[in-house]
C-alpha cells in the first residue's frame, strides 16, 4: 500500500476516506466554520431557516471585516444582526475593527489536521497551518453549521516540491505569483495543492498562509502545508502550544501531478492588470509611475509583512506624488507594531493607516484616481474591483510595494540595499478582548433585524419546460466581481437581494437587470471558468431573483457552480463547444421535458427557436445535486427532508 498524502491523512482522521476518483463526490465532516459580514448575514438567515437550534460544529466564528464603512444604517444593522444571531445560535462573534477573518483565524483558532469551511474563497489561508480549509457559498457553510457534511468533487492531488530558500527582497507573494504565471487562474481547478520538500522549513506560517491564500486565484479546492516545527513555534508564540499536532505526508505518497520550485530562483514579480496570472518580473516594469500603494488584505497583512515594510520606510518619506495606504490584518498586528516601535515609521513616512479590515481590497474606500496606477498586496486585480473602472491594479509583495511608495515608480526592491530581516516573535500579544463568546444557554436571545434585511429568497423547483431569452453572452474567465460587483455602494445590500439584484452585470452591461425583468428571466451563456473568484453566493442569488433559470458554459469555477445548484439554477455544459458561438443574446431558447429528465438523464436538448436549431447540453451532476436542483436548491431539499422540524424563513 502506498503512503498517504496530507489530504488523505486528514480525511482518514475524520472517517472520510478513501479519496474518491477525481470528480466523484467527496463528503467531509467539518470541524470549524467561518463567515464574514458580506456573506454572513445571508448565511445566518439560511441557518435560521434550517431550523437547527444551535451550531453543531466544534467552532463557528462570525467575523465582520468587509462592510465596515458606515455611511448609513445598513451596515451597522447587519453587524447588529450578526452579533445577536451569533449569540442566539452559539457562534463566536468578531466585531468590526477587530481584524480580517483569515488573519484572525490563523492567530486564534486554526488547528493542524482539522477541517474548516468558510463563506469566503480565501478560507484556504488556514492551509498554511496544516488545515484542510476550503471556501464555499454561505448556504454550504450554514448546512455545515447545522452538522451536515460538506460535499465537494474529489480533487486531483498536486505535490509542489519546494527547494532552496528565498533570496533577500523576495517574498512568499512572489512564490504564488510564480505558480500563477506557470499554471494560470484555471490551473488549479479541481485540484488540491500540497507543499513539500526542504524549502518548506524556511517559510514561516504567515508566509505559508500567503501562498495558500492565493491558491484561490489558481482555482484550487484547497492548499495545504505540513504541520512541523515551524508550526509548533508559531502556535507557541500565540499562546496555543496545546493546539499543535504534527502532520506530514508519507515519503511514498502518490500524487496525480508533481512540480518543482526552487525558491532561490524566484525574483520579485508583479501581476499586471486585470488578472492575477498576468505575471512579469518587477524589473520589466521599472520606472512606471505609481499613483497609489495599498498594503494589507488577508494575503499580506501579518506582523512579518508590515514589520518588513516599516523597516523599509524607516528614515524615508513616501514620494510626494504617491499615496501609501496601510491596513493591518488584526489588532494583534497593530499592537505589536506599536510595542516594537515600528508604527512610528509608518506615521513619520506619511502613510495613511486604515482600520484592521478588508477595505481597499474589495473596493470599500481608497479607490485610486482616474486611470491611476495602484500597486496592491491584495489577491485580485479584476477590472473595476478597486472602485475605479479605468485604474491599473498590479499585485505585488509588501517589499515591492514599499519600494514603489518611496520612489514613486515601479522599483525592483533588490536595488534598495540590505534587505530587512524580521525574526518571528517568540511571543505575540494575546488580544482576545473584542471576541464575544456565546453563552451556553442562548434560547432567549432576540435576533435584531434592521429594515434593510429582507426575507430570505428561496429557489423554485425546475419546471417541466424551461424557456426564455438569452440575456447575455460572455467570454472566458468571467468573475463573480463581473456578475455581482463589490464596492461600498453595492455591498450594503448584501442582506437585501431585491436591491442588490439591480447591480447584476452592471459594469459589463448596465441594462442587464432591467432587460432580465422585462423578459421574465432566461439564460446566461458563457465560456470557460465561469464564476471564478469570490465565493459570493449573491452572484447566484441575484440572477435567481431576476428569473435566470440556467447558465450554459464551457466550464464552471467550483464554488460558483455549487452556488448555482444550491439555489436551483442549472449549470449546463455545452456538449459541443462550437455551439456556444452559434447562440447570440436575444435568442429564444426552450428546453423541453427539463424537469422529468433532470433526475434521470445526463443530457438535455435545447431548441433555439430564433434560429431554428437544436443542440445538446450536459448535466454534470451527481444524484444529490440533481435532487437539489430539481427541488429549487439545497435549502428547499433540506427543508423537505426535515419536514415539520424546520422553522420557516423570517418574513
Q: What is the DSSP string of 222-238?
A: EEE--B-HHHHHHHHHT
pLDDT (average), residues 20-27: 94
Mean pLDDT, range 238-249, rounded to an integer? 97
| Comparison of pLDDT for 552 and 535, the residue scoring more | 552
8 A C-beta contact, residue 520 and residue 495:
no
| Mean predicted confidence (pLDDT) in 541-546 | 94
Write out the E strands in 72-209. 92-94, 115-118, 132-135, 150-153, 156-163, 191-196
- Residue 646 pLDDT more than 60? no
- Cross-strand partners of 32: 59, 116
Instruction: Dump pLDDT digits (tens) for 398-423.
Output: 999 999 999 999 999 999 999 999 99
Look-up of cell digits 431548441: 607
Instruction: Select from 462, 552, 30 the least CA-distant residue to 561.
Output: 552
Count CB-CB contacts under 10 A for residue 423. Answer: 8
* pLDDT above 50 for 369: yes
Q: Where in the chain is the domain with CATH 3.20.19.10?
A: 466-645
What pLDDT, on a 0 to 100 scale, did the predictor assign at position 74?
86
- pLDDT(441) > 60: yes
CATH annotation of 6-265: 3.30.499.10
**What is the three-class DSSP state of 433?**
coil
We find that the CATH architecture of domain 269-413 is 2-Layer Sandwich (3.30)
Q: Compute the residue count for the chain.
A: 651
Q: What region does 211 belong to: left with phi over 0, alpha with psi -120 to 50, or beta?
A: alpha
Question: Tell me: the pLDDT tens digits for 573-610?
Answer: 999 999 999 999 999 999 998 888 888 889 999 999 99
Selection from 171, 177, 167 nearest residue 400 by Cα: 171
**pLDDT tens digit string along 187-218?**
999 999 999 999 999 999 999 999 999 999 99
The predicted pLDDT at position 262 comes to 98
CA distances to 471, 544, 602, 612 from 520, in Å? 10, 11, 27, 22
Burial (CB count within 10 angstroms: exposed 0-12, middle 13-18, buried 19+), residue 265: exposed
User: pLDDT tens digits, residue range 298-330?
Assistant: 999 999 999 999 999 999 999 999 999 999 999
pLDDT at res. 443: 83
Q: What is the percent of the chain with per-residue pLDDT over 90, rounded to a whole number?
A: 82
Sequence-separated (6 or more) residues with CB below 8 Å from residue 324: 292, 293, 295, 318, 349, 350, 351, 352, 405
The predicted model gives 617-640 an average pLDDT of: 90
Q: Which CATH superfamily is domain 466-645 in?
A: Aconitase, domain 4 (3.20.19.10)
pLDDT score at 643: 66
Contact 151, 184 (CB under 8 A): no
Q: Tell how strand 25-28 and strand 150-153 pair up.
A: antiparallel
Instruction: For the chain, give every residue range classified as CATH 3.30.499.10.
Output: 6-265, 269-413
Stated as kind and residue range, the H or E segment containing 270 is: strand 269-271
Q: Is the pLDDT reported for residue 389 higher than 90? A: no
The region of weakest confidence among 71-80, 91-100, 197-206 is 71-80
- In this predicted structure, the answer to whether residue 651 has a pLDDT above a threshold of 90 is no
Is 466 in contact with 594 (CB distance < 8 Å)? yes
Question: What residues pair up with 295 in beta bridges, in sequence order?
Answer: 326
In this predicted structure, the answer to whether residue 649 has a pLDDT above a threshold of 60 is no
Amino acid at each position: 500500500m502506498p503512503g498517504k498524502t496530507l489530504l488523505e491523512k486528514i480525511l482518514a482522521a475524520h472517517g472520510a476516506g478513501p479519496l474518491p476518483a477525481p470528480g466523484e463526490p467527496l463528503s467531509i465532516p467539518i470541524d470549524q466554520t467561518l463567515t464574514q459580514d458580506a456573506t454572513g448575514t445571508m448565511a445566518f438567515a439560511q441557518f435560521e431557516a434550517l431550523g437547527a437550534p444551535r451550531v453543531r460544529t466544534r467552532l463557528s466564528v462570525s467575523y465582520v471585516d468587509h462592510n465596515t464603512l458606515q455611511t448609513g444604517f445598513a451596515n451597522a444593522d447587519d453587524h447588529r444582526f450578526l452579533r445577536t444571531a451569533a449569540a442566539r445560535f452559539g457562534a463566536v462573534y468578531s466585531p468590526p475593527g477587530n481584524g480580517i477573518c483569515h488573519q484572525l483565524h490563523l492567530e486564534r483558532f486554526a488547528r493542524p489536521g482539522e477541517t474548516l469551511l468558510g463563506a469566503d474563497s480565501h478560507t484556504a489561508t488556514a492551509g498554511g497551518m496544516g488545515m484542510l480549509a476550503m471556501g464555499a457559498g454561505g448556504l454550504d457553510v450554514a448546512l455545515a453549521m447545522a452538522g451536515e457534511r460538506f460535499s465537494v468533487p474529489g480533487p486531483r492531488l498536486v505535490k509542489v516540491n519546494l527547494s532552496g530558500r528565498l533570496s533577500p527582497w523576495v517574498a512568499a507573494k512572489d512564490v504564488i505569483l510564480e505558480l500563477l504565471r506557470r499554471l494560470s487562474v484555471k490551473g488549479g481547478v479541481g485540484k488540491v495543492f500540497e507543499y513539500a520538500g526542504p524549502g518548506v522549513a524556511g517559510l514561516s506560517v504567515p508566509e505559508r498562509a500567503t501562498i495558500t491564500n492565493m491558491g484561490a486565484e489558481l482555482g484550487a479546492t484547497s492548499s495545504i502545508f505540513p504541520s512541523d516545527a515551524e508550526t509548533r513555534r508559531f502556535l507557541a508564540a500565540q499562546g496555543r502550544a496545546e493546539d499543535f499536532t504534527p502532520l506530514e505526508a508519507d515519503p511514498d505518497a502518490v500524487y496525480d501531478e508533481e512540480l518543482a520550485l526552487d525558491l532561490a530562483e524566484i525574483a520579485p514579480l508583479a501581476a499586471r492588470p486585470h488578472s492575477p496570472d498576468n505575471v512579469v518580473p518587477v524589473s520589466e516594469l521599472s520606472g512606471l509611475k505609481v499613483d497609489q500603494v495599498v498594503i494589507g488584505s488577508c494575503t499580506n497583512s501579518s506582523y512579518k509583512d508590515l514589520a518588513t515594510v516599516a523597516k523599509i520606510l524607516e528614515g524615508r518619506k513616501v514620494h510626494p506624488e504617491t499615496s501609501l495606504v496601510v491596513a493591518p490584518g488584526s489588532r494583534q498586528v497593530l499592537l505589536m507594531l506599536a510595542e516594537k516601535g515600528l508604527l512610528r515609521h509608518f506615521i513619520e513616512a506619511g502613510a495613511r493607516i486604515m482600520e484592521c479590515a478588508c477595505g481597499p481590497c474589495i473596493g470599500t474606500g481608497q479607490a485610486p484616481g482616474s486611470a491611476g496606477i495602484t500597486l496592491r498586496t491584495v489577491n485580485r486585480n479584476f477590472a473595476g474591483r478597486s472602485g475605479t473602472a479605468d485604474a491599473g491594479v498590479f499585485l505585488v509583495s509588501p517589499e515591492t510595494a514599499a519600494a514603489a511608495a518611496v520612489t514613486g515608480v515601479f522599483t525592483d526592491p533588490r536595488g534598495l540595499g540590505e534587505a530587512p530581516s524580521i525574526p518571528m516573535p517568540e511571543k505575540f500579544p494575546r488580544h482576545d478582548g473584542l471576541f464575544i463568546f456565546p453563552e451556553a444557554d442562548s434560547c432567549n436571545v432576540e435576533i435584531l433585524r434592521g429594515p434593510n434585511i429582507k426575507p430570505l429568497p428561496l429557489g423554485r423547483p425546475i419546471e417541466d419546460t424551461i424557456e426564455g431569452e438569452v440575456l447575455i453572452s460572455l467570454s472566458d474567465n468571467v468573475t463573480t466581481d463581473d456578475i455581482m460587483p463589490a464596492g461600498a455602494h453595492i455591498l450594503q445590500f448584501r442582506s437585501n437581494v431585491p436591491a442588490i439584484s439591480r447591480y447584476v452585470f452592471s459594469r459589463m452591461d448596465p441594462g442587464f437587470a432591467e432587460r432580465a425583468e422585462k423578459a421574465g428571466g432566461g439564460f446566461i451563456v458563457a465560456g470557460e471558468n465561469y464564476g471564478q473568484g469570490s465565493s459570493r453566493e449573491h452572484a447566484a442569488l441575484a440572477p435567481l431573483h431576476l428569473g435566470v433559470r440556467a447558465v450554459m458554459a464551457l466550464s464552471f469555477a467550483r464554488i460558483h457552480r455549487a452556488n448555482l445548484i444550491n439555489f436551483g439554477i442549472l449549470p449546463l455544459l455545452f456538449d459541443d463547444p462550437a455551439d456556444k458561438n452559434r447562440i447570440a443574446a436575444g435568442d429564444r431558447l426552450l428546453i423541453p421535458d427539463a424537469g422529468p429528465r433532470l433526475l434521470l438523464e445526463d443530457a438535455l436538448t435545447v431548441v433555439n427557436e430564433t434560429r431554428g436549431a437544436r443542440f445538446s447540453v450536459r448535466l454534470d451532476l451527481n444524484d444529490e445535486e440533481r435532487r437539489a436542483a430539481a427541488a429549487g436548491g439545497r435549502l428547499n431539499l433540506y427543508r423537505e427532508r426535515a419536514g415539520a422540524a424546520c422553522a420557516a424563513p423570517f418574513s
